[in-house]
A and B are shown apart, each in its own frame.
Chain A
Amino acid sequence: MNVVIVSSVLLLSLGAACLARVRSRHLSVESLLVADRALPAPMLFILTVGEIYSIGSIVAFPAGLYAHGVSYGYWFLGYLVLAFPVGYFVGPAIWQRAKKYNACTLPELFGRHFESVTFERLTAWACVVALVPWGQFQFIGLRSVLGTIGLSATPAAGLAGCAVIAFAYVALGGVRASTYVAFLKDILMLFAIATVGVAAMCAQYKLPVGHAGTTTAMPPLPSGSSLVFAISTILYQGVGFYFQPSVTPYLFTARSAQVVRKAMIFMPLYMLMYPFAVFATYFALRSLAPLPNPNVVFFHVAATLLPS
């Protein structure tokens, strides 16, 4: 059954990418990489949130909150919510530079601004190196998800499979395909998080008084040093969020600087899914037996509360 569901979602996503191809008038390099700089605010919003909120929202956030407590949740939510005010003020300037230099990639932007091919190549390598740990965390999460539903694969096979699928998206419709796939992914992810969160809330209030706290100990209040770590990391990541190579290029796809601002206004609202994830995690802490592997906490709550 799980294989059928995963295969259906994969086919649906490839169908979404094909739809993007059908709706693209032509497939130039500019069309593939920056969607002809023509995306309106709603599509820029979908593309950007599709990239930002990945497997971390379902695996890493509940797992970190479960294992490390309040300071982890404060860091995770804090840097994300502060990234958007920074993006509101900095994003339009980045878009204007990309338009001015006709840049389709981040290295092109740097290379043309500083009129140096060497610097352009250096930036390209820096982007690749910076994306390695980010990709590594994505694969850790993906392996955890696939392992939980009984579809574990060797890392090499997983990497190869993901590379083929990702290339298919890009080859079919470029960054527009990413937008269409992101739309599908976001609908499924929001539905999953909201469903498990609501089920956790309902179950929490049905439990008899005194049941809470009998299983896993509640996380302690954050210490001074963990708060210093959280605050300094929030500042670093919140300010630097729209300068990272996995996010900045999406700004290039906007129709105008004003579109970037409009999309940023709505970005924090997407975070309203996180209360559901927090409720699900606190339900696991209060009412379920301790888990040896925190990475599966969200799935464990889903398997416990939802009908199989």
Chain B
Amino acid sequence: MADRRRWRLVMLGFGAPFAAIIFVAPFLSRLPLSVFGIPIVFIWIFAWFPLTSLCLWLCERHS
């Protein structure tokens, strides 16, 4: 049970940011879309600055 919980926390703190940057961002970088004149992949990465902090904070809170 403890191992399962630890695994979930690792997935939240480590897996979620990695998936967002390694798997999702490359697809967004190929899209010719922009927000405020900035390619959408950068908006996605900018969003993951606070989201990464949030994931790590949740990890710490539940560990």
Taking Cβ atoms with an 8 Å cutoff, the residues of A that contact B are 70-71, 73-74, 77-78, 81-82, 84-86, 88-89, 201, 204, 212, 221-222, 227, 230-231, 234-235, 261-262, 264-269, 271-272, 274-275, 278-279, 282, 286
Measured between alpha carbons, how far is A169 from B58 in the docked complex, in Å?
Answer: 37
Do A282 and B38 have beta carbons less than 8 Å apart? yes
- Give the shortest distance, in Å, between A237 (CB) and chain B (any CB): 12
Question: Which positions 10-62 of chain B face chain A at CB distance < 8 Å?
Answer: 10, 13-14, 17-18, 21-22, 25-26, 29-32, 36-39, 41-42, 45-46, 48-50, 52-53, 55-57, 59-60
Verify B46–A275 contact, CB threshold 8 A. Answer: yes
B22:A74 contact, CB within 8 angstroms: no
A130–chain B nearest beta-carbon distance, Å: 25
Q: Contact at B14–A85, with CB atoms within 8 Å? A: yes
Residues of chain A contacted by B53 (CB below 8 angstroms): 265-269
B38 near A278: Cβ-Cβ < 8 Å: yes
Given contacts A82-B22, A268-B49, 19 further A-B contacts (CB under 8 A): A73-B42, A78-B22, A78-B25, A81-B17, A84-B56, A85-B14, A86-B14, A222-B29, A227-B29, A231-B26, A234-B21, A262-B60, A265-B53, A268-B53, A269-B53, A272-B46, A272-B49, A275-B46, A286-B37
A285 to B: closest C-beta gap in Å? 9
Residues B41 and A89 in contact, CB atoms below 8 Å apart: no
- The residue of chain A having its C-beta at the shortest distance from the C-beta of B58 within the complex is A265
Specify which chain B residues have a CB less than 8 angstroms from the CB of A231 in the assembled complex.
22, 26
Q: Return chain B residues, CB-CB under 8 Å to A274.
A: 46, 49
The 8 A-B pairs at the shortest CB distance, nearest first, are namely A268-B52, A265-B56, A271-B49, A85-B14, A268-B49, A78-B21, A268-B53, A77-B45
- Report the nearest B residue to A73, measured CB to CB: B42
Known: A71-B29, A279-B38. A85 touches B55 (CB 8 A): yes
22 interchain pairs, CB-CB under 8 A:
A81-B45, A82-B17, A85-B18, A85-B52, A85-B56, A88-B13, A88-B56, A201-B36, A204-B37, A221-B31, A227-B29, A234-B21, A234-B22, A262-B60, A265-B53, A265-B57, A265-B60, A268-B53, A269-B49, A274-B46, A278-B38, A282-B37
